[in-house]
């Protein structure tokens, strides 16, 4: 494959060989019908829709949320005015962990990495003036995903939007929290039960809502290689499917609403191969292992975010170039929606200008390049098709190792995924430190003195304002009604009943996020990690 006039192969991020030159022999014995098919047809290597971006571009989402609901609402309005076609909500750590802003554990973290949402009042302010029947909303929330989904539904109903018309996504992927992020609340078994309850609830009440976004992004940010990112994400997806089947659901009832969330790195060719391989593997797993018959059950639909971990605080403007390349990789790989990071995110929360520039990057890709003129431009490429096959083989090998350990949950409990990610992250860190892996502005092409930059800062008084709002809420609401609703929620959690119905009643009565999650903690307990996990 490599001629004598070229250097030997380089290693990809996943440790796979990338040859200097690929020719026809790279695809020897290769069956295009089996490997590729047609766009919008099994095995979906070439994309999940026949026309892909030739009819319309991907959904342009911008992930935003900071401080109070009012501040985040202002940012959402700015993004919509700039052309964003879908909102993506970031929540602060107390909200992600199911704590109110006045909880002792919330001190110092309120509004810092996302918006603080304590109650229905906050959710009303967050979406004030935003037509929820017209805007698709994605919410990056996991352990308390059902709680935030119900708050969103309640606000939409107040706007006069029927639940059946709402579109959007909740991340709702708790398994990756045990692997990479740590924002879990309950132990794995009741967490999976809550996921299954959400599947059933949305099938009945919110049929157009994507009930889970099975995420590899956070594992990649923790150091996973592209192959690990896909393997561990798909293994988690299999665990969710098995959970839903065990709860008595038919695969074609819920699988069409599954979605995924991946990272896009600067290694463009490997990333394109990764996305194409992921679609092919998922289609075959759903067809062969689970017997899915609905074509939509076989489609791996995914959102992409550019790689925050690859952004640098040094020479931050260079991140504009990185994000453009990463966004291009996602588009060439066939993403359904995309968030492009702002160039200043390695320093602080994005400013209004930097968030607008990030959105403009997507708009340039969509409207000033020709990548939307044809479906799957890399189809038949010697290099990309071979790299897709190599990626598929590496991913399947990792997935088989997880199955040998008893599946995703058992592997998590044994610390397998976490250890593999840490091993790869250490290798990347060593290569960066030695200079073998070039990071522009960090270990090569550095400046003697960085130019000053004024980042956006969160008002430290936000926490006090949230505490005061909670005090007013608790004084004004019907306390007896809240107590009755929380009692009903605890009873449902201790039975086989779907907890989302009493949960919605509690939130509508004025119960806070922390109180609802606290009621479930009383019944289900909290997860305490072992040394392995």
Residue 4 has pLDDT above 80, yes or no: no
Q: Which helix (H) or strand (E) holds 431?
A: helix 416-434
pLDDT digits (tens, 9 = 90+) for 72-123: 999 999 989 988 878 889 999 999 999 999 999 999 999 988 999 999 999 9
pLDDT digits (tens, 9 = 90+) for 245-258: 999 999 999 999 99
Q: Which residues contact 434 (CB under 8 A, 6 or more apart)?
A: none
In the structure encoding, which two tokens stand for residue 5, read together?
Answer: 């006039």
Distance linking the first and last C-alpha atoms of the chain? 42
Q: Which residues contact 508 (CB under 8 A, 6 or more apart)?
A: 120, 154
Question: What number is the average pLDDT over the span 48-73?
Answer: 91
- In this prediction, residue 348 carries a pLDDT of 81
* Ordered structural domains, the chain, with CATH: 50-434 (3.20.20.240), 462-524 (no CATH)
Least confident of 25-29, 217-221, 387-391: 25-29
- In this prediction, residue 7 carries a pLDDT of 63
pLDDT digits (tens, 9 = 90+) for 26-57: 998 888 888 899 999 999 999 999 999 999 99
Residue 308 has pLDDT above 80, yes or no: yes
Q: What is the mean pLDDT of the chain?
A: 94
Q: Which helix (H) or strand (E) holds 185?
A: none
Residue 331 has pLDDT above 90, yes or no: yes
What does the DSSP assignment read for 135-164?
SEEEEE--TTHHHHHHHHHHHHHHTT--GG
Question: What number is the average pLDDT over the span 213-230?
Answer: 97
- In this prediction, residue 531 carries a pLDDT of 58
Question: What number is the average pLDDT over the span 16-25?
Answer: 95
Residue 332 has pLDDT above 60, yes or no: yes
Residue 533 has pLDDT above 70, yes or no: no
Question: What number is the average pLDDT over the span 361-367?
Answer: 98
Question: What number is the average pLDDT over the span 127-146?
Answer: 94
- In this prediction, residue 432 carries a pLDDT of 94
Q: How far is CA 364 from CA 53, 60, 247, 331, 394, in A?
A: 14, 12, 45, 12, 34
- In this prediction, residue 89 carries a pLDDT of 93
**Residues of the chain with pLDDT > 90: what percent?**
86
**β-sheet bridge partners, residue 512:** none
- Residue 168, φ and ψ in degrees, nearest 5: 160, -165
- In this prediction, residue 35 carries a pLDDT of 87
Question: What number is the average pLDDT over the span 153-172?
Answer: 96
d(CA 470, CA 434): 51
Q: Is 135 exposed, middle or buried (0-12, 13-18, 19+ CB in 10 A)?
A: middle
Question: What number is the average pLDDT over the span 358-365?
Answer: 97
d(CA 31, CA 102): 61
Question: What number is the average pLDDT over the span 147-170?
Answer: 97
Return the higher-pLDDT residue of 79 and 419: 419
Integer-rounded Cα Rg, in Å, for the chain is 23
d(CA 459, CA 463): 9
pLDDT digits (tens, 9 = 90+) for 434-468: 999 999 999 999 998 887 777 767 777 899 999 99
Return the higher-pLDDT residue of 348 and 201: 201
Question: What number is the average pLDDT over the span 354-368?
Answer: 96
- 3 state DSSP class of 437: coil
Q: pTM for this structure?
A: 0.91
What's the pLDDT band for 330 if we cut at 50, 70, 90?
very high
What's the pLDDT band for 1 if we cut at 50, 70, 90?
very low
């Amino acid at each position: 494959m490599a001629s004598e006039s070229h250097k030997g192969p380089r290693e990809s991020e996943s440790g796979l060989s990338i040859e200097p030159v690929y020719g026809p022999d790279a695809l020897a014995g290769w069956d295009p019908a089996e490997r590729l098919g047609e766009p919008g047809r099994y095995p979906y290597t070439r994309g999940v829709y026949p026309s892909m971006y030739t009819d319309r571009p991907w959904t342009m989402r911008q992930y935003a949320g900071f401080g109070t609901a009012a501040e985040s609402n202002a940012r959402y309005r700015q993004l919509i005015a700039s052309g964003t076609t879908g909102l993506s909500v970031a929540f602060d750590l107390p909200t992600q962990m199911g704590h109110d802003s006045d909880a002792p554990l919330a001190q110092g973290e309120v509004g810092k990495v996302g918006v603080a949402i304590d109650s229905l009042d906050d959710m009303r302010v967050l979406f004030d003036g935003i037509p929820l029947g017209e805007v698709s909303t994605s919410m990056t929330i996991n352990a308390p995903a059902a709680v935030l989904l119900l708050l969103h539904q309640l606000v939409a109903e107040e706007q006069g939007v029927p639940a059946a018309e709402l579109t959007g996504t909740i991340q709702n992927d708790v398994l990756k929290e045990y692997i990479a992020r740590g924002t879990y609340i309950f132990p794995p078994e009741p967490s999976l039960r809550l996921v299954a309850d959400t599947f059933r609830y949305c099938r009945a009440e919110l049929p157009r809502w994507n009930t889970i976004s099975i995420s590899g992004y956070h594992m990649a940010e923790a150091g996973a290689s592209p192959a690990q990112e896909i393997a561990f994400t798909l293994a988690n997806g299999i665990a969710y499917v098995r959970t839903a089947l065990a709860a008595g659901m038919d695969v074609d009832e819920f699988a069409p609403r599954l979605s995924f969330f991946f990272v896009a790195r600067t290694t463009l060719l490997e990333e394109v191969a990764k996305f194409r391989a992921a679609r092919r593997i998922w289609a075959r797993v759903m067809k062969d292992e689970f017997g899915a018959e609905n074509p939509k059950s076989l489609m791996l639909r995914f959102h992409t975010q550019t790689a925050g971990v690859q952004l640098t605080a040094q020479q931050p403007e260079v991140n504009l170039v990185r994000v453009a390349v990463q966004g291009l990789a996602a588009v060439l790989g066939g993403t359904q929606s995309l968030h492009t990071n702002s160039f200043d995110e390695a320093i602080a929360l994005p400013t209004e200008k930097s968030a607008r520039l990030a959105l403009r990057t997507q708009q340039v890709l969509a409207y000033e390049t020709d990548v939307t003129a044809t479906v799957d431009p890399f189809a038949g490429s010697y290099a990309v098709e071979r790299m897709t096959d190599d990626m598929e083989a590496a991913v399947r090998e990792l997935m088989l190792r997880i199955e040998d350990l008893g599946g995703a949950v058992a592997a998590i409990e044994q610390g397998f995924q976490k250890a593999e990610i840490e091993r790869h992250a250490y290798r990347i860190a060593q290569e960066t430190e030695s200079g073998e892996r070039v990071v522009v502005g960090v270990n090569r092409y550095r400046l003697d003195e960085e130019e000053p930059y004024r980042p956006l800062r969160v008002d430290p008084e936000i926490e006090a304002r949230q505490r005061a709002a909670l005090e007013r809420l608790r004084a004004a609401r019907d306390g007896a009604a809240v107590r009755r609703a929380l009692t009903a929620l605890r009873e449902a959690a201790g039975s086989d009943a779907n907890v989302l119905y009493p949960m919605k009643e509690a939130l509508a009565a004025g119960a806070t996020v922390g109180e609802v999650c606290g009621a479930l903690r009383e019944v289900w307990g909290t997860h305490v990690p072992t040394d392995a996990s």
